[in-house]
Each structure stands twice: as structure tokens, then as C-alpha cells.
Amino acid sequence: MMKRLIAAMPEDLKAAQRLAVQTGIKLSEISIHKFPDGESLVRAPAVAETVIVYCSLNDPNTKLVELGLAASAMRDAGAKRLVLIAPYLCYMRQDIAFHKGEAVAQRFVCALLAQWFDRVITVEPHLHRTKTLATVMPGVETSALSAAALLAGLIQKNDVAAGDILVVGPDAESQSWTSSVASAIGAPFMTLKKVRGGDSNVSVSAGEITVVSGKHIYLVDDVISTGATVSAAATLLKHHGAKRIDVLAVHALFAKTDEEKMLKAGVASVRSTDSVAHATNAVEISPLLAAALEKEWRS
């Protein structure tokens, strides 16, 4: 039996190939056949002692079932250690029951993954009141990686003087990693105040909005789902004299029509990491993942 193997879900095969090149680990594709009744037949590839499963969990309601079936098949085939790479980790927002009767989705999903995997690696999980991923995955090794340096690298490629740049976060929750992006390039930052009235009904405001005038704005966010927050922020920033607004995101989940709305609101460009396959992908996370996997592939 091989010592290690990367096994990728079909939708993640290209991203997993980039990781395989970085690490030198053999790559195999997980086979999925969908029956007319909606069920899936999942077939694991040739197994190894340690299998690194690559599955970004956007569109999670189908993927979670197929991921669980894949993990089960690999265990049955003799895998001793399963490592999940889920660059985008789903259902992290719902970390408490906001109203009576609601499921705490974060706790439920993390409990499932903890049953299936020995280690979980993700990038910028959308945690609010949960301090660390380990808190909700007891007994499992967890790695929550930061993509701040990757976004900072995209800004530096544009060759704009740091004094002309303002890094802006869409809400108070983004402050810690918005400041990390700004610090990496030696630029100032600010965060906006967001009020959400629904999935696509968002308003934003700011205190020291006068600092925006004449600045090249980099509006950074961890997840963009509909672009409503970005559009509202761009409208506000343009109104107060922003010279140019570029949007950088770790996880791009929005549709083409959402991107068009952001552009109409005054955004010049939207770029993202390849944590989720998307037309806006501009930077690869494979070096970040390879560094996190070092103890797996050098053992």
C-alpha cells in the first residue's frame, strides 16, 4: 500500500493537481456516479495509508453526503489516516440559534467532519463567535490558514504607492484580517458598519469616511456570496470620493449577475483565490496548503 495519496472530488481536480505539483504526492480522482433518483455511487481511488481528500465545500448539501461516502469507502479499503482539505468550509456562519427552533449548523457540520477525518485543513473559515475551529472539532487536528498574505500579494502586483492605498473591510468582523492585509503592504485600513436586512438587502456606513477621498481602495472580504455588501460599500465609497475600487476575496461564491451588479456600483475589478473554482480566480492557494501538509508528506 502507498504511504500517501491525494484524492480529489471531480469539481476540485484542477486545484488538487496544483497541490500535487507542489507536494509531489500522487493524485487520483474520486469517482462519482449520480443515479436518476438523485442518489450517488461514490468509488474511492487506489487507497494509501494516508489519504488527503481535496473537497471545497461550496454547494455543500450534495457534497457533504458524497464526501462522507468517500471517507467511508477509503476507511473500508484500509486507509489509516484521512486528512480533509476543504479550502472553503461551509455552514460556519450559523454558530448559534438566532431564533427558537433553528439548527446550529456549524456544530452539526463540524461534528460530521470530525467523525470522518483525522485532520481538517481550511482557509479563512467564516468564524464569528467561535474562537477557533478546534473548539467545534474536539479530538481532531485542525488548521485554519490565513490568506491575508496572498491578497496582499495581489495588491503589491498593481504597483500602487502604499500612501495612495486604503484597505477597507466590509464590517467590524473583518477587522483582524483586513488589518493583516494592510500591515503586509504598509497601508492604512478602515472597516465599515454593515446592517443586513436579508440575503440581498444590505446597508453600510462608516465613521471616518473623509479618509476615502482620492484613495485607491482595496475592498477585501473573506466570502462574497451575492455581492450585496460589496455593492453597497462601493456606492458609499464612490460617493465620498474614492479614486478606484478593486475587490479582493478569499472565497468567491457569487454568480456572474452578482459580479455585474458590483461593477455597476463602481467596482473596477473583482479577484479571488482559487479556494473555490471561479472566473475571478487570480491567485493559487496551493503553496499555502502544501506548507500546512509538510508533516504529512515528509513523514
Assess if residue 217 is contained within a domain. Answer: yes
For residues 182 and 59, membership in a common domain is answered with: no
Q: What are phi and psi of 161, to 5 degrees?
A: -60, 135
Indicate if 234 and 130 belong to the same structural domain. Answer: no
- Per the structure, the count of domains in the chain is 2
Which residue has cell 490558514?
145
CATH number of the domain where residue 60 is located: 3.40.50.2020
Question: Is residue 294 packed enough to be buried (19+ CB in 10 Å), middle (13-18) or exposed (0-12)?
Answer: exposed
Model pLDDT, residue 162: 73
Quick one: 162 and 115 in the same domain?
no
Q: Are strands 165-169 and 216-224 parallel, antiparallel or unpaired?
A: parallel
* 2 phi, psi to nearest 5 deg: -60, 155
In a domain, 117, yes or no: yes
- 40-43 and 48-54 as β-strands: parallel, antiparallel, unpaired? unpaired
On whether both 243 and 292 belong to a single domain, the answer is no
How much is the pLDDT for 18? 97
Are residue 36 and residue 88 in the same domain, yes or no? Answer: yes
pTM beyond cutoff 0.75: yes
- Is residue 114 located within the same domain as residue 176? no
Q: How far is CA 33 from the centre of its chain?
A: 27
Q: What is the pLDDT of residue 203?
A: 55
Cα-Cα-Cα-Cα dihedral of 146, 81, 31, 121, to 10°?
A: -10
Q: Does residue 251 contact residue 272 with C-beta atoms inside 8 Å?
A: yes
Check if the beta carbon of residue 125 is closer than 8 Å to that of residue 92.
Answer: yes
Q: Do both 142 and 14 map to the same domain?
A: yes
If asked whether residues 247 and 127 sit together in one domain, one would say no
Query: Is 279 contained in some domain?
Result: no
Q: Are residues 155 and 130 in the same domain?
A: no
User: Domain for residue 240, yes or no?
Assistant: yes
Q: Do 167 and 260 lie in a common domain?
A: yes
For 12, the domain range is: 2-146+284-297
Q: What is the pLDDT of residue 198?
A: 53
- Is 220 within 8 Å of 151 (Cβ atoms)? yes
Residues listed for the chain: 299
- Residue 53: per-residue pLDDT: 97
Residues 261 and 140 in one domain: no
pLDDT score of 1: 77
Residues whose CB is less than 8 angstroms from the CB of residue 151 and which lie 6 or more positions away in sequence, other chains included: 181, 220, 248, 250, 273, 283
Residue with grid cell 469616511, as numbered in its chain: 209
**pLDDT value at position 296?**
63
Same domain, 127 and 158: no
* Spatial CA neighbour of 71 closest among 114, 20, 25: 114
DSSP the chain: -EEEEEEE-GGGHHHHHHHHHHH---EEEPEEEE-TTS-EEEE--S-EEEEEEE---SSHHHHHHHHHHHHHHHHHTT-SEEEEE-SS--S-S--S-SSTT---HHHHHHHHHHHH-SEEEEES---SS---HHHHSTTSEEEEE--HHHHHHHHHHT---GGGEEEEESSGGGHHHHHHHHHHHT--EEE-EEEEEETTEEEEE-SSGGGGTT-EEEEEEEEESSSHHHHHHHHHHHHTT-SEEEEEEEEE---HHHHHHHHHTT--EEEEETTS--TTEEE--HHHHHHHTHHHHT-
Beta bridge partners of 85: 54, 121
Series of mean pLDDT values for 10-residue runs along the chain (299 residues): 93 97 95 95 90 96 95 95 97 81 88 96 83 85 94 87 86 81 91 65 57 91 92 91 95 96 96 97 96 75
